[in-house]
Structure formats: structure tokens, C-alpha cells
Amino acid sequence: MAEAVGLAAAIAQLAGLTVELTKLSYTYLNDVRNASKARKMYLREVSALTDVLLRLEMSLQDSVALGPQQSARSNPIPSTTISDCHDVLSLQRSALEKNFNRLLWPFHEKELKKAIEKVHRFRDIFSDYITADTSSKLSFTNHKVDSLKSDQARVQLQDGLEQTEGLSKTQPTPISGTGQWLVNHTDFQEWIKGPPSVLWCRGPRKCERLQTYCTLMN
């Protein structure tokens, strides 16, 4: 759990760096006419990395909210990847800040191309992690849902068995020979051998009709 919280904090710090880079880059492009396509590409890559990092931060926070079981299932991002990304972004920010007052773009075309490639590489790494983490969450959620369904089915089955046991307990056991007059009666014999129909057993109250029914059921 603590590892997931620390990872989310580290990703939030990286996102803060990319936000600063985006602001600085936008200022350069906004104040310089005829900015090159490479500079615009750099701004797009940094903005895209910012979006990925913010989504990754939310994904990590969701993992923490789901509990330690989900946090343990998530594949951790290597600390070297985070530190390397932090170093690259920090160097790019320092270069942009150094010449910010004079609005001199600090990167030559070859340097800018390398900077774009580095930012793009980190964006791919973190995007892949989001995909894997999302898949892990879906698997975890489906497992929880299946477990919940099994628990509910088990409870329903247990309730049904308890009700059946209750009915069997309330069913009276007739004395041997009870109701034989009905079983041997010609009307009953004709009814049981004939097509399915309803047999009415009439009689006054308290004439042990329940005992008679139990005899027929047995």
C-alpha cells in the first residue's frame, strides 16, 4: 500500500514537471514567429506526456482505493524509469528557463529531435503501464463479482435447505394404520388409477385431515 502511495506521489511530481515544460514551450512558440515543426512537435509530445502522467496518477490512486490486494497485483514501475524521466525533464526545463528572458530557443535541431524521442519513449512506457494496470483492475473486479455471486447463491441455497428442513420437521408422523379406510376406499382407488384429477376430502373441522393428507403423501 505504501509503495503504491509513494509511486503515485512520484508520478504527480513528474506531471508537475511536464506542466512547467508545456508552459515554457508554449511561451516560446507564441512569441516567436515561424516556429519550426520540430518545436511544435516537442510541445505536442510534452502535452501528451502530461496527459498520460495525469491518467497514470489517477489509476494508481484507484489501485490504492481498491485496497492492498489490488495494489499488490499491479506491476510496479521500476524506480530507475521514474528517476530517468525526472532527470530528462529537469534538464529540459533548466535549458528552457536559462534563455527564457531572451526567448532564445535552447535546442538545436538535432538536440530537439533527441529531446522529442526521449519524451515520446517515456510516454509509451507509462501508457503501457496504464493498459496493464487497467487490465489488472478488470480481472480483480470480475473476480470480486464472481465471488459475490457465489456467496449469494450459497446463501440462497442454504436458506432453501433450511426452509425444506423446517417443513419436514412440521410434518406430523401419523400412527400406523391412520387413513387406511381412505386408501382402501373404492372412490380413492378409482381416482388414483384414473386420469389426473382433483380429489376432494370433505369433513368437519378437527377431523385430522392433515394426518390423512400426510398418509396419502407417504
As a whole number of angstroms, the distance between CA 124 and CA 74 comes to: 18
Contacts by 169-176 with C-beta closer than 8 Å and gap 24+?
171/214, 172/210, 172/211, 172/214, 173/214, 174/211, 174/214, 174/215, 174/218
Percent of the chain with pLDDT over 70: 61
As a whole number of angstroms, the distance between CA 80 and CA 60 comes to: 18
- Closest listed residue to residue 31, CA positions, set 117, 118, 111, 99: 99
Range with top average pLDDT, 19-23, 179-183, 195-199? 19-23
Domain boundaries along the sequence of the chain: 2-161, 180-217
Specify the pLDDT at position 72: 44
| Position with higher pLDDT, 119 vs 35 | 119
Confidence of residue 61 (pLDDT cuts 50, 70, 90): confident
Range with top average pLDDT, 139-148, 162-171, 206-215? 139-148
Residue 85 confidence (pLDDT) above 90 = yes
As a whole number of angstroms, the distance between CA 100 and CA 120 comes to: 24
